[in-house]
Amino acid sequence: MVLLLPITTVIIAQDNEQEEVEEVIVSGVKSSLKDAIDIKRKNVGVVDALTAQDLGKFPDGNLAEALSRLVGVTTERSNDEGTKVTVRGLGPEFNLVTLNGRTMPTVPPQYGGGRSFNFGDISSHGVAAVEVYKSANAVLPTGGLGSTINMVTAKPIGADEGGAVSFRMNHHTKNVTGDDLTPELDFIFITNGEYLGGSWGLSVSGSHQERHNREEGTNEITWLPSDVRGGTVPSTASISSSNQRSDGVYFYPESLSYKFKDNQSERDNLQTTLQYEYGKMVTTVDYTVSSTSFDFTGITTGSYFAGWNTTQMTVNERGAVIQGTSEAAGNGDSWTNDFEYGSSSTNNKSVGINFDYQVNDNLNMTLDFHDSSAGFKGTPGGTQNNVLAFSNGAWPGWGWWPVQEASGFLRARSFDFNNKVGALSWNMDKNFQGADTGATEFDGSDMGPRQAFLNYQDRESELNQLQLIGNWENNDGIIMESLSSIQFGMSQMETSFRNQKWFNQLVNGKLADGDPVMMTYAFMPDDVWTKVNVPGYLGSGTPFYYLNISKEDALYWFGAAGFVGDFSSSDGSWWNNNNTPYQWPSECIANDAFDADGNPNGLGSNVGYDGNRSSTRGVVDGCYGGRDSNGIIVEELNSLFVNFNFDTEMNGIPVRAQLGLRYEEEERSSTADTTVPTNTAWSLGAFMYGDKVGVITAPTTYTGKGSSDYFLPNLNMTFDLDDKRVIKFALSKTIARPSLEQLDSTVSVGAFDSRYPLTLGTGNPDLQPYESVNLDLAYEYYYAEGSYFAVNYFRKDITDYHGSGLRSGPFNGVRDVTRGPRGALIVPENDDALCQWTASQGYWACGWSNAYDWAWLVNTGFSFGCNGSTDCIADANNGNAVFIGNSDDPFYIFNLAQPVNKYDGVLDGFEVAVQHLFDNNFGVLANMTLIGGDTDADRAALGEQFALPGFGDAANLSVFYEDEKMSARLSYNLKGETYAGMDQYNPLYVVERAQVDFNATYNVSDNTQVFFEAINITDSEVELYSRYEEMTFLYQDHGPIYKAGFRVKF
């Protein structure tokens, strides 16, 4: 064993004539498919594999896209590129990805996670094979409840010397602002030789890729259930309803906007391996580094709905408000034309060393260590982009101050989800001092900055892993003849995840939520905006336009157009007093806002404003404010494992069997800089901590701990019925760990009400892994060379899936000040006591006081002061006594909300696969996966429910041709409707999606090829919906991608 490759540890005892994956150097589509079949058949468990077609040439340029050709595997796409995979209806968080048998760190995406590997972070060109283990093996690292996916890189000793270089140009058909052609370059080089009586080898591979494209679509649309977010629809609204829900609940879209994003990304990879073999020892040192950068800008245009100001709406039989019109009286509402931008970078590094020692003919020992890290810095993306909100000012420019320019009013606005993107439309008007200007569309003269939302995150995961694996071959038939080998070992792993977040809201022209009036439009040049008309955008069938602006202008004028006025009444800047950028952090302010003529604020004299202007401006970019959270999660995992491998017969049928046992102990700690309750406080009426009773909070570093131990057995059996037919049986127990965000100890403190226990929300470091008992039964028929038929039934009984939990108990030693001796007089009979006590003082305490206030007054000795009590402070506002909890008081009983293990379910299904090589150079691959069980979501149910992300069917069909001069492949990939998880209120589904890809290669010579690729030829969109298809959640259109290039071997 040259590295810790599970494929070798699985096969090694099963076949003395084994072929190690890293030694398979193949050429061509057919050879690659034959090698994959060889891996599948020889493995005692249920395994599928992909191998390189040639040195540095994988079937697809993206590993996730390549894996989607395998039965049971589907791809999750981001920015039209495969990034993660779902296996057998279990999403990315349930599948463990390893590199050369090592667990690799990763950082969570925007919505939790932290367990799933992003295949977009690594190029496929240094990968020799990818193996998908669907049944368990005790030697493999744990965490893959659905599967374990192992990427195998090239190893130089024993390999053919030489290399390859590929260059291609990409054309993304939706590109608008970037380069129409972007480059991709990748290479691999292998050399080896003899030195000082031993053998050495060196391999180096790398890649550089750039992509520019435009992404068009809708915003993420939250559908608000009326039982939680109702009460906004006016009683005067005209409602047409055929709602058949027994609870009468309906779902109203919160907002609807159309948007585009111009994306630019770069990816770089470098992998190098140095090996030296001397005698019985092979030493391997390897280094892998990858980095990606992603930058985007875009415009989002639309309006807020949520039921407010509804004049008319239609509710269908399933409760979806599929059509509605809203119109606010008076000043109307805000027409939002937001500028969004962001940048981010990821960096992954891994350094490893491996010692492989052949002790004797029977025993091999391998010691492996790696130190790896994954990091993310920048804008999280999704709903956490940087957003500069611009909107209309809704002002008629009255002659009295402050602004004598008009800005348009948003009037009726409508949506219609009989169209999949909602058919957004709106009306506007504009008047100057009461006279209609005749405007029917918004333009640059109407727009000003309103508010900004800025996000930044810094996340890093570091992982150290030490593995010692022994392989003992029972060549002498000791103990029993049928025992062919024993694999055994241990693993120690420590993972540290650090998560830091910043968020800042910068208010500029906004006066209040729901009020569109603002004056900043008058201080922003009109010509920085360009109107773009796109009728029928996204197939909406409605007129649509947006106002475009450059990033430089958006950032500058958002900060500059608002620093005006001297706040005097004569100046008339009442509209800017409470929301001025002058209140931004000092580090976000500069004094350089002059135009070429020296005019303050970069404005000329004719701006329709007669007040003072300023040279001060806000510096928006990077104005994230203080750090909001800082958490560290540390996991320590110790494992012992053994595999007993057998070769025997049952009723004359050769049987290969493997009995595996793995035991693990895990310790977790989660430390967060957070705000927690420290005590309770009690005073008269409203005071600095609340009303009568309040909670005192303070920043602190809080640590929570958790632990797990589990025993994971597995049994794999292969019955070789004859030289063509195989039956496989597998029974195992596997786990998947909760997302890192669920372990976070950051505490959120709810609103305090003395009538009810205070609710604290936090993660749960003691959240246990999900467990699954797995059954596989497979039939494989290898009826010709390179051809086979296989059918597999699988079942997973899953327990301890997470959900929301609520329990009562003490926290942080907080005492309840009103439940101790000092609170003895807090009884209903005293509710009127203070009122009566103030009779001679005009009954000033009547109408608001109760027993809490009377008991407090008695404790002050009727002095309103602390009366000598040491557990008392003075109210900073009025000097009254504030009593705080002490050791004589009982612990305060909180409601503690945190994730818990609570759900069980069954997932099962069938996989069917056919691969056939014809005699006329053609071949076909076809497979289908059908998922069943009780882990799908109930579309009609409200609130939390148990469902597994990834639940859905899939199918693939590929037809290819290959001869000595050329090869071509046409692929059809179908991903059935898939459950994608929950938003705040609703289950989400990915709409069934079919994608067609094509690639072709022509061999100019033995060492030179030219090739062409077409991805997503049919321009399939990505669509998600909430509950039902008419409730669109997200629509994205990325367009086809075409690539052409050449490859040279040397």
Query: How is the chain split into domains, by residue range?
Result: 216-264+291-625, 821-890
Whole-number pLDDT of residue 65: 77
Whole-number pLDDT of residue 816: 96
Query: What is the rounded distance in angstroms from the CA atom of residue 78 to the CA atom of residue 85?
Result: 12
Sheet with 95-99: list strands edge to edge. Answer: 47-51, 127-133, 147-153, 95-99, 102-103
Question: By the 8 A CB rule, do 309 and 366 touch?
Answer: no
Residue 434 main-chain phi, psi, to 5 deg? 95, -10
Q: Which helix (H) or strand (E) holds 282?
A: strand 281-304
Q: On the CB side of 76, how many CA atoms lie within 13 Å of its CA?
A: 25
Task: Residue 142: count other Cβ atoms within 10 Å of its Cβ.
Answer: 25
Query: What is the rounded distance in angstroms from the CA atom of residue 725 to the CA atom of residue 717?
Result: 14
Can you read off the two tokens belonging to residue 69? 């050709």
Q: What's the CA angle centered on 228, arms 1023 and 677, to 5 degrees?
A: 105
Whole-number pLDDT of residue 610: 55
1034: left (phi over 0), alpha (psi -120 to 50) or beta: beta
Question: By the 8 A CB rule, do 61 and 53 touch?
Answer: no
Question: By the 8 A CB rule, do 871 and 770 touch?
Answer: no
Cα pseudo-dihedral 583, 585, 587, 591, rounded to 10: -10
Low-confidence ranges of the chain (pLDDT < 70): 1-27, 53-61, 79-80, 109-114, 120-121, 123, 399-402, 564-580, 601-613
Whole-number pLDDT of residue 581: 72
Question: By the 8 A CB rule, do 364 and 471 touch?
Answer: yes
480-521 pLDDT, tens digit per residue, is 889 999 999 999 999 999 999 999 999 888 888 889 998 889
Pairing type for strands 310-315 and 238-241 reads parallel
Q: How close are the terminal C-alpha atoms of the chain, in Å?
A: 28
Q: Return all residues near 839 (Cβ < 8 A) that are at least 6 apart.
A: none
Whole-number pLDDT of residue 3: 45
Q: Return all residues near 1041 (Cβ < 8 A) that are at least 6 apart.
A: 80, 170, 171, 172, 173, 213, 1013, 1014, 1015, 1016
179: left (phi over 0), alpha (psi -120 to 50) or beta: beta
906-935 pLDDT, tens digit per residue, is 999 999 999 999 999 999 999 999 999 988
Whole-number pLDDT of residue 22: 33
Residue type at 241?
S
pTM of the shown model? 0.88
Among candidate residues 79, 145, 106, 64, the one with its CA nearest the CA of residue 948: 145
